[in-house]
Chains A and B, each alone.
Chain A
Amino acid sequence: MSWSKAEQARRAGAELKDGDIVNLGIGLPTEVANYIPEGISVMFHSENGLLGMGPFPTEAELDPQIINAGKQTVTYVDGASMFDSSLSFAMIRGGHVDVAILGGLEVAQNGDLANWMIPGKMVTGMGGAMDLANGAKKTLVLQTHVSKHGESKLMQKLSLPPTALKCVNRVITELGVFDCKGDHFLCIELAPGVTREEATQHTHGDLRFASSVN
């Protein structure tokens, strides 16, 4: 047993606090918008120049000139503002964004993140990821724990070119929730049915468990 993608996104949503300014990366992190806990209100920042991003539009609301950083058509909520790219990244680098939820290829136990290239294989560019990982007050990563080839993506040291150093606070994978503690990962929660042995076996870095974890 482990968490589905939707359950991972829901678990990430539970990290958010009322009033947070939140930036969601492309892919699975975008789904977190569907799992904001009841009674909590957050403002979504999209780095292409929108603070106060709303849900996807209905056909009647569709406007090609309102998009998110994934180039999807979106809407905006009351209180939203729009601005240029330089101001948008001043918000990010300047520490005015509370939480960035990013996708990851690898996370190291000291908080180093790799998510923008695999030499010789994948080239997408870093987009806003380097600024977000460095600038947000808190960086959460949503990613798979193990690659398709069975290799751990929670590393002692990164094997891929970094996006930013010592920036990740917490990783949420299909197996559980893991904090980057410098010289080890600290598991603070396991997905239902996942054992300590299983998590340890699939973690390349040094893994410890909070006493509250079964």
Chain B
Amino acid sequence: MKVYPDAKKALEGLESGMSVMSGGFGLCGNPEACIKALAESDIKDLTVISNNCGNAGKGLASLLQNRQVRKVICSFIGGNPDLAQQYLAGEIEVELNPQGTLAERIRAGGAGLGGFFTPTGVGTPVAEGKESREIDGRTYIFEKPLKADFAMVRAAVGDKFGNLRFYRTSRNFNPIMAMAARVTVAEVDKLVEVGELDPDDIHLPGLFVNRIFQAEHENPIEHRTVREA
């Protein structure tokens, strides 16, 4: 059965030294309950794959503060003082990927592809050590797929088969990461019975999800920008 009572149970089997994908863009659409459960565990030496690895001291930044992370594969460090500090001090390994390359490497990992050629990064430090090829007159570099032991994703609604429906810009990396891990754990605002979601409204088919549970989400705001009514 895919339905689990909470994050701690749903993450069983996740051990020190493993790789973990974590959905979210900044603090939006984060698997908050899974991150909290990891932060409360003794698990360490993790390789974390995430666009930002937390921000403003929150989200995955809690794992950085606890020194549970050995390596981060991400696209952006700005706004994440914990990551910047440990990176500049040489205390953590950081592999920076262009955001579109990060997304496509994850998608390729989940889609069973051996990689892809992209024009992004040509002539930059990103291209160093990578195969380059001219295709129809344009230069591309080869990027390998990314996979992980676990993926922690968050959706608005999920059913007991694991079908997921996302909300607004909380979708971001969540559906592609769900495709690319050996064990995918989904936490949802609302867990419903199979059949309650219309097939046309399902954003991610349930075969990609191994474990699912319902959780409360704080949805922290990073930059609260408003205008006069």
Interface residues, chain A, with chain B CB atoms under 8 Å away: 46-50, 55-60, 62-67, 69-74, 82-86, 88-89, 92-93, 112, 123-131, 134-135, 161-165
Contact = CB atoms under 8 A, between A and B. Distances in A.
Contacts of A165: 122-124
B77 interface: yes
A157 to B, nearest CB: 12
Contacts of A135: 100, 119-120
A93 B125 CA distance: 19
B227 A55 contact: yes
Contact of B126 (A56, A123, A130): A130
Given A125-B96, A126-B98, A130-B100, 5 more contacts: A47-B100, A71-B25, A82-B168, A123-B77, A131-B100
A66 B102 CA distance: 22
Nearest to A129: B98
B225 A73 contact: yes
A166 to B, nearest CB: 9
B75 interface: yes
A127 B102 CA distance: 10
A130 B124 contact: yes
Interface of B: 25-29, 51, 55, 74-79, 84, 87-88, 96, 98-104, 106-107, 118-126, 167-176, 219-229
Contacts of B225: 56-57, 72-74
A93 B226 contact: no
A76 to B, nearest CB: 8
B74 A125 contact: yes
Contact of A83 (B26, B102, B171, B229): B171
Contact of B168 (A59, A65, A69, A93): A65
B25 to A, nearest CB: 4
A82 B84 CA distance: 30
A73 B219 CA distance: 12
Contacts of A74: 225
A130 B219 contact: no
